[in-house]
Amino acid sequence: MTFNTLLRHLREGAKNVFRNGWMSVASITSIIVSLFILGVFMLLVLNVNSFADAADSQVEISAYLNSDVDQATREKLQNDIGSMAEVSRVTLIPKAEGLKDFKKKMGDEMKDLLEGYDEKTNPIPDTLKIEVVEPTTVPYVASKISALSDQYPNDPIYKVRYGQGTIEKLFKITKAIRNIGFAFVGGLALMAMFLISNTIRVTILARRREIGIMKLVGATNMFIRWPFFVEGALIGFVGSAITVALLFVGYNQLVDSVKADITLAFRLIPVGEIGLQVGGLLLGLGLLIGIWGSTMSIRKFLKV
Amino acid sequence: MIEMQDIWKTYPNGTHALKGVSVKIDRNEFVYLVGPSGAGKSTFMKLIYREEVPTKGQISVNGFNIGKLKPRKIPYVRRNIGVIFQDFRLLPKLTAYENVAFALEVIEAPKKVIKKRTMEVLELVGLKNKANRDPSQLSGGEQQRVAIARAIVNNPSVIIADEPTGNLDPETSWGIMQLLDEINFRGTTIVMATHNKDIVNTMRKRVIAIEHGNIVRDQLRGDYGYDF
């Protein structure tokens, strides 16, 4: 293909987009809608994943000891738990420190309420903080610690606690979001492709005469196909570019407002960290949908 | 140049358009194809430029076995065949010049060649000074001249003309015939289907008459032979 021919194809393809005015707008809109929803789901999944990761690393087990446990038992317990293969670290939080932490956590508002508690009346028990190597083993390790306590005389551990259920729920939610997202987006992408192939079919019908003459004077099928190919790619590109712009501007604002609100305990991944990944995928998908839609509709017309 | 051997053509709807046609047309011949409507003239010509494939039989054009041609080779064979229709088939949005140049653009000729060659053929058909007009600004005869210019711009060895004067008044028709005669004189084979008795009887050429899918007469310097 010569350079002039390439220019001609690009020109013709672009002309077709405008020539089909509303049909092109419809195709571009359908691409925007489907890709936008895909983008929202992608951002959601990415953020939930990063949130889950952050939560994972914070998972630890607290074993509250009974108040009558002596130091020897405490140390033995600490050693026994520390020697479990799944456990990475055991730390003792003495009751005094526990009270201090608790007061700090409750903040100024509750200060008055906790004022009365001092060294002697401290209601907080000594606590063992246990960190595990693998977050998923937390429930298992917790039950193992309970069992261990039962083997001791007079059961030194009052209670074993961990973030029961929250982690499992989070993973379930991520998975559900992902599945729903895929189903949704798959359907929408198909619709977009159908609309594009229809748009291009209209172009072809309008240009049937021209195509007939082109074939008559000896144009190859590739030569006839190119402008339609360009048209589909353009529709896909414009649609996905608009989507990416809309999505990122909106998301950026969300990131900023989440950052500004200090009462929220989580943060959103900034656009800079995932922009290339999400944007690239959406653009690529848009082009693919556009090109596929156009190729599908010309194939039939060129068979004769 | 064009050779058909026992050509049969049956359309999917069951119409038997051609029933065992054999014919040979030599280089540089001028052939009239006559016969009633629906006799098979159009099918005969469509087979030559590979718009249709024969159901049975062999057809060769310029040494190519047209019936067995691979689809992707078709465009290259067509570049050697010019086609002219009764309804001109020009692109309405393009000027006369652009319509002719189109045939060269499609085969990706260099820009310089396109310009030179297009002006050459427009001059030959006598429309050099109307090159920038749209088809709607041209008379029927002039439009047909543009179509002829487009058909010959690739220097084809054969011109297939399906009733080229069918939509034109007698005077304009003669102009077109003189042009075709001139093109034939320059070395292009012409196969022309027509219902124009005056033309066939006056400008004497080889006449092939087709009826009910068979060649019923093949006569050098023949006459029209029908009363309509």
Structure tokens at B40: 């098979």
Q: Which residues of A touch B77 (CB under 8 A)?
A: 218
Question: B-side interface with A, Cβ within 8 Å?
Answer: 49, 72, 75-79, 83, 89, 91, 102-103, 105-108, 110-111, 150, 154
**Is the CB of residue A8 less than 8 Å away from at least one CB of chain B?**
yes
Average pLDDT, chain B: 94
Per residue of chain A (304 residues), give pLDDT as tens.
778 888 888 988 888 888 778 878 888 888 888 888 888 888 887 887 777 666 665 677 888 888 778 888 888 888 888 888 888 888 888 888 877 777 776 666 666 777 777 767 777 788 888 888 877 777 788 888 888 888 887 788 888 877 656 666 776 777 787 788 777 777 877 877 777 777 777 777 777 888 888 888 899 888 888 888 898 899 899 999 999 999 999 998 888 888 777 776 667 888 888 888 889 988 998 898 888 878 877 777 776 4
**Is the CB of residue A219 less than 8 Å away from at least one CB of chain B?**
yes
Q: How confident is the model at residue B127 (pLDDT cuts 50, 70, 90)?
A: very high
First to last CA, chain A: 23
Which domains occur in chain A, in start order? 3-55+167-302 (no CATH), 60-162 (3.30.70.3040)
Structure tokens at A73: 């038992």
The DSSP element (H or E) to which B59 belongs, if any, is strand B56-61
Q: Which residue among B89, B91, B106 places its CB closest to the CB of A218?
A: B106
Which chain B residue has its CA at the smallest distance from A211's CA?
A: B91
**Is the CB of residue A206 less than 8 Å away from at least one CB of chain B?**
no
Q: Which residue among A212, A218, A221 places its CB closest to the CB of B79?
A: A218
Distance from the B55 Cα atom to the nearest Cα atom in chain A, whole angstroms: 16
> Span B79-88, mean pLDDT?
94
Q: Which candidate, B184, B191, B113, places its Cα nearest to that of B153?
A: B113
Residue with tokens 């309008």: A206
* pTM to 2 decimal places: 0.69
Whether A158 and A64 have beta carbons less than 8 Å apart is answered as: yes
* Interchain CB distance below 8 Å, B75 and A219: yes
* Interchain CB distance below 8 Å, B89 and A212: yes
Longest dimension (CA), chain B: 50
Longest dimension (CA), chain A: 103
Which domains occur in chain B, in start order? 2-219 (3.40.50.300)
Distance from the A242 Cα atom to the nearest Cα atom in chain B, whole angstroms: 33
- Return the number of other C-beta atoms located less than 10 Å from residue A204's C-beta: 20
The ipTM, to two decimals, is: 0.85
The DSSP element (H or E) to which B163 belongs, if any, is none
**Is the CB of residue A110 less than 8 Å away from at least one CB of chain B?**
no
